[in-house]
Amino acid sequence: MYKRLSIVMFPILLVALIGTGVWGYLEHQEKNSVLIKAENQYQRAFHDLSFHVDKLHTELGNTLAVNSTSQDAYKKGLINVWRITSQAQNEISQLPLTLLPFSKTEDFLANIANFSYRAAVRDLSKQPLDEKEMKTLNTLYEHSGEISTELRGVQSKVLQSNLRWMDVELALAKQDNPHDNAIIDGFTTVDKKVGEYPEIEWSPTVMSVYQNRNMSMLSGQEEGIDQIKQKAAKFLSLQDSSPLQVVENGAGTENQSYSVSMPKQGTSDGNLYMDYSKKGGQLLWYSAMREVPSKQLDLRTARDVAAQFLDERDYKEMTAVSYDEYNNIANMTFATHKNGIINYLEKVAVKVALDNGEVIGMDAADYAYDKKERQINAPKLTDAEARKTLSTNFKVESADKALIRNDIDEEVQCYQYIGRVNGGIYRIYINADSGAQEKIDRIGSEEAQLRT
């Protein structure tokens, strides 16, 4: 009996053993294939990074060699510097450096990218590079040369010793003597060298990018928990503020705020939430998010509901400037419309549930930070003069004056033209002083429907 059983089972077990072996072999091959692909991607990104940092040094040198009166050549050189630096930043993001100190080098490249871009997009014939900016360019040229030399040294070690980036990733993940790895050592040395550079005098237009907004920028006195409770109760139209829970955040920092919460049936987690700044007691955002199972209202109705909601809460003279719809929720942005000018700096985003018209969300941070009295001068160009800068194919349907923040973070007064071209509806902003095209936005299908 056992002999017969063994005769039957032996081939079955043999087939199972062979199958297991084949499966293991295929799994091993697949794993190796993935590892090889990842290693190839890392190697490509690293060698491209070394090439582009070297190219960045060359391009900075070429830009400095240009005659000081040749503004077009400066613009072209600065654009090339920005493009190459952006490529280098992209390549760094593809390398397994998340556990490796390399932030100073990344910040250095980000500063170069912003400096070159913001200098290139301005009108250099009217605002050429000044003495400080030329000094900055020379400093960047010297530093980029040093970084390039260090990276080429790492590259030589990688090529001579056939070093693998997968070993870098493994060493960083395990924290297993990571600094014994030549690649890690090289990148650590580069970042240390960058960290030791003297502070570069970036121009104010560049550094404005890094001036993060904080609560100290707001006007008004610091407010306490009881005052915030009263404001929140008024916003929510509550007679009794006792259900509101208020917690202070960031005590002793520049971003002191209060978080307000209250039980509310039907919301995603059974609560509504609000945030207020401590300084000035400004509402930053409100959320009572929930699932919206059906759509009963159209965008026009939602817009009217949101406008009334804002007006009742002292957000006066606001007009809707953009609309879209997702998951039966209308998302709308309102901006201040005063003295014939739409102020896009003072804007509020509102979410309206399209089943019953309830306002379930609001973001007022931009309004809180940018609301202030501004002296707006009369534009140098007339509407008729500004229209001449538009494409002859662009059919204007409406025109307004607008205050926007352009690509280099300047507040500029524009003529805003909404019209049609190439089958689409666009919003074009023409600088009211220079006639330059500052921005162009394509209007979404939802907003387009409201305009018909």
Structure tokens at 231: 């404001």
Provide the pLDDT for residue 76: 86
Q: Read off the pLDDT of residues 17-38 as tens digits, 9 standing for 90 and up.
A: 666 655 555 555 555 565 677 7
Average pLDDT over residues 386-407: 92
From first CA to last CA, the distance across the chain in angstroms is 88
Tokens of 344: 């896009």
Q: What pLDDT score does 234 carry?
A: 94
- From residue 260, alpha-carbon distances to 167, 265, 287, 369 in Å are 48, 16, 10, 20
Residue 444 CB contacts under 8 Å (≥ 6 apart), including other chains: 322, 323, 324
Arithmetic mean of pLDDT, 173-189: 67
pLDDT of residue 212: 56
Average pLDDT of the residues in 158-172? 72
Q: What is the pLDDT at residue 400?
A: 94
Q: Name the amino acid, one letter, at 240.
A: D
Q: pLDDT band for 172, please (50, 70, 90 cuts).
A: low
pLDDT of residue 99: 59
State pLDDT tens for residues 60-90.
Answer: 888 888 776 777 788 888 889 989 998 888 8
Contact 311, 341 (CB under 8 A): no
In tens, the pLDDT along 426-438 reads: 999 999 998 988 8
For the ranges 118-127, 306-315, 324-333, 361-370, the lowest mean pLDDT is seen at 118-127
The model carries a pTM of 0.67
Higher pLDDT pick, 376 / 408: 376
Q: Which of the two residues, 299 and 13, has the higher pLDDT score?
A: 299
User: Using one digit for the tens of pLDDT, what is the confidence trace for 122-144?
Assistant: 777 777 888 888 888 888 889 98
Q: What percent of the chain has pLDDT over 90?
A: 35
